[in-house]
Chains A and B, each alone.
Chain A
Amino acid sequence: MDKAKELELKKIATEIRKSIIIQTAEAGSGHPGGSLSGVEILTYLYFVEMNVDPKNPKDPDRDRFVLSKGHASPLLYAVLAEKGFISKEELKGFRQIYSSLQGHPDMKKVPGVEMSTGSLGQGLSVANGMALAAKLDKKDYRVYVLLGDGEIQEGQIWEAAMTAAHYKLDNLTAFLDHNGLQIDGKITEVMSPEPVDEKFRAFGWHVIKIDGHDFNQIEKAVNEAKTIKGKPTIIIAETVKGKGVSFMENEVGWHGTAPNKEQAQKALEELQKQLESLEVQG
């Protein structure tokens, strides 16, 4: 990836981080921590990789994205607004009555949302269904899904992992947002799913491990996944929960708590500084 492109993506990612803070602060609820950890992954998918068009959101040939960890809705909404599926003005209504931006994404209410999610563990199965449909229709669109690392404690994930390998869904790429924390604490202390790489490999997947905040590594992994034939790929992305906001990073308390006005102000100032330093580089 050339430097200019990377810089541009970093700026978009920082804008998205600001939006996550604003949405959750306005709503007084929501999940900032796990939204902030997945920012680079979604930024790369929506602004480099995926064939999606806000003017034609139902194009049958479009690539699909499923946010299996549906509580990271502020992240998805921010990306969809940045991409032009919804207006930035709408983001202020997040989680509020009469808004289409439900606490967890609703595909019937928001253009660009491919699946209603929220109950953990179901998104990988849904993505499998989309990938099977592509194979049936001999279409070459690809399906992406973002899983939480706590989420993979759900048994259905492993049912779906079997199905994806059994049906050789090489048009499916899963990302694991491996930030190491869930509501009650460290995932390794609550209910360890480790070693996740060996588990997915044993289930018949191609496994790639990357730094989930590094656009170059994300790009390399996504491209590698496209070359793998006969099996699905999981990209285990090492991330930091709360990434980008100093007092939120690696703090389990920021899983499902919104920042108050002061905290939001502080977070936005930090992010603004990051943006300004990127501007200087650019």
Chain B
Amino acid sequence: MAKIATREAYGQALAEFGEVYKDIVVLDADLSKSTRTEIFKKKFPDRFFNIGIAEQDLMATAAGLATCGKIPFASTFAVFAAGRAYDQVRNSIGYPHLNVKIGASHAGVSIGEDGASHQMLEDIALMRVIPGMVVLSPSDAASTYECVRLAIEHEGPVYIRLGRLGVEEIYKKGELKLELGKGIVLQKGTDVGILATGLMVHEAIKAAKMLQEEGISVYLVDMPCVKPLDVDLILDVAKATGCIVTAEEHNILGGFGSAVSEVLIQNYPVPVKMVGVNDEFGRSGKPEDVLKYYKLTAEEIVNKAKEVMKMKR
């Protein structure tokens, strides 16, 4: 099966929705070939603006367009969108709650060879603490398409986290229907819950199979919506299994696992183990090698599942 990167699906989705929603405009910061907004640009050249290598200007220009009724998709690498332009995202988009969508590609360590300066591992933490900011982290092409649709339909700022690496399809486009604030139950189980987001959903699926072969029953959930979180589903998993593993391609500090833990600790405390990058910067290497180096693997999810099951009281 052909692998499709979520950034590729993003570019395609923009071009597709651009037909229907004439207010969509796309902005990029000299990375349209990489973020794949080039696909939109070719189809709608008048509604595409290259702002050049100037991410702060990119974000605030998008804000200005939004005040006039446009639906701007400001697109660049996650490290620049959430990092370099943080103040612009916070003050010119988040605070006035403007209808800007941020398409942040090349998130996580799986961009590989470019190394730490380009591997964004803190964006979930940074974006989810901006009041009113929706944070989406799709796992495959179909869920990316759905996240773009949700972003368009939601009035307000949205951050969409995308990857560079080609990934297998989990869902069939047209069959998947996402709701804002809802997770996707891949299977129900009773021994351990695995909640994963983005690229790590693929590893979580493999991990669930490995655990099942050992007779362990796994409640497996894909969480494309990091904010708002599906609180009901998280509690359902906690009650059914009594212990949870989270998996994300992000620093474990402040990220998806932290968000899930915030929900649990206030409502139904159960032990949690987090798979993610352990408060480190990334490093160069082939994407597969980097992912292995940081233990962003199915094997590590299996290990953490076994550890957390022993912590159940």
| Chain A contact residues, CB within 8 Å of chain B | 60, 64, 66, 106-108, 114-116, 118-119, 121-123, 125-134, 136-137, 155-156, 159-160, 162-163, 166-167
- CB pair A133–B57 under 8 Å, yes or no, is no
- In this complex, the member of B68, B72, B96 whose beta carbon has the largest number of chain A beta carbons within 10 angstroms is B68
Q: Contact between B88 and A129 (Cβ–Cβ < 8 Å)? A: no
**A136/B46 contact (C-beta < 8 A), A126-B64, A130-B65 known:** yes
Count CB-based A-B contacts (< 8 Å). Answer: 108
For the complex formed, measure the closest distance between the CB of A114 and the CB atoms of chain B, giving whole angstroms: 6
Does B60 contact A129, Cβ atoms closer than 8 Å? yes
CA distance A108 to B47 in the complex (A): 27
Is there an interface contact between A162 and B52, defined as CB atoms closer than 8 Å?
A: yes
For the complex, give the distance between the alpha carbons of A130 and B72 in Å.
12
Binding site for A on B (CB under 8 A): 25, 46-47, 49, 51-52, 54, 56-57, 59-70, 72, 87-88, 91-92, 95-97
A228 to B54, CA, bound (A): 26
Residue in contact with A156 in the complex, picked from B63, B88, B96, CB distance below 8 Å: B88
Min distance, Cβ B96 to any Cβ of chain A, angstroms: 4
Secondary structure of the A side of the interface?
A: helix
Residues B92 and A126 in contact, CB atoms below 8 Å apart: yes
Q: Are B69 and A129 in contact (CB under 8 A)?
A: no
A108 engages B96 (CB within 8 Å): yes
Distance (whole angstroms) from the CB of B37 to the closest CB of chain A: 16
Chain B, Cβ-Cβ closest to A155? B56
* Contact, CB under 8 Å: A129 / B52: no
**Residues in chain B near residue A114, CB distance under 8 A:** 67
Of the candidates A106, A123, A134, A137, which one forms a contact with B96 in the assembled complex, judged by CB atoms under 8 Å apart? A106
Are A115's CB and B63's CB within 8 A? Answer: yes
**Smallest distance from the beta carbon of A213 to chain B beta carbons, Å?**
29
User: Which chain B positions have C-beta within 8 A of A131?
Assistant: 64
Name the contact of A163 in the complex, choosing from B47, B61, B69, B96 (C-beta under 8 A). B61
**Contacts A122-B92, A125-B61; is A159 near B67 (CB within 8 Å)?**
no
Q: How far is the CA of A130 from the CA of B47 in the complex (A)?
A: 14
Verify B60–A126 contact, CB threshold 8 A. Answer: yes
Instruction: Enumerate chain A residues within 8 angstroms of B70, measured Cβ to Cβ.
Output: 133, 136
Q: Which residues of B contact A160 (CB under 8 A)?
A: 57, 60-61
Chain A residues with Cβ under 8 A from B72's Cβ?
129
B64 near A163: Cβ-Cβ < 8 Å: no
Assess whether B56 is in contact with A115, with CB atoms less than 8 Å apart.
no
Give complex CA distance A196, B130 in Å: 35
Question: In the complex where A132-B49, A156-B88 touch, is A115 in contact with B57 (Cβ < 8 A)?
Answer: no
Q: Provide the residues of chain A in CB contact with B88, threshold 8 Å.
A: 119, 122, 125, 156
CB atoms of A132 and B56 under 8 A apart: no
- Is the Cβ of A115 less than 8 Å from the Cβ of B64? yes
Between-chain CB contacts (< 8 Å), 8 pairs = A60-B68, A116-B96, A125-B61, A125-B88, A130-B65, A133-B68, A136-B70, A163-B54
Cα of A132 to Cα of B58 in the assembled complex, Å: 13
Inside 8 A of B62's CB, which chain A residues have their CB?
129
Q: Among A64, A118, A129, A137, which residue has its beta carbon within 8 angstroms of that of B66?
A: A129
Given known contacts A116-B95, A122-B92, A163-B57, A134 and B68 CB-to-CB distance under 8 angstroms: yes
Residue from B47, B51, B61 within 8 A of A126 (CB atoms): B61
Interface centre among A107, A130, A167 (most CB of B within 10 A): A130
* CB contact between B51 and one of A106, A130, A133, A163 (< 8 Å): that residue: A163
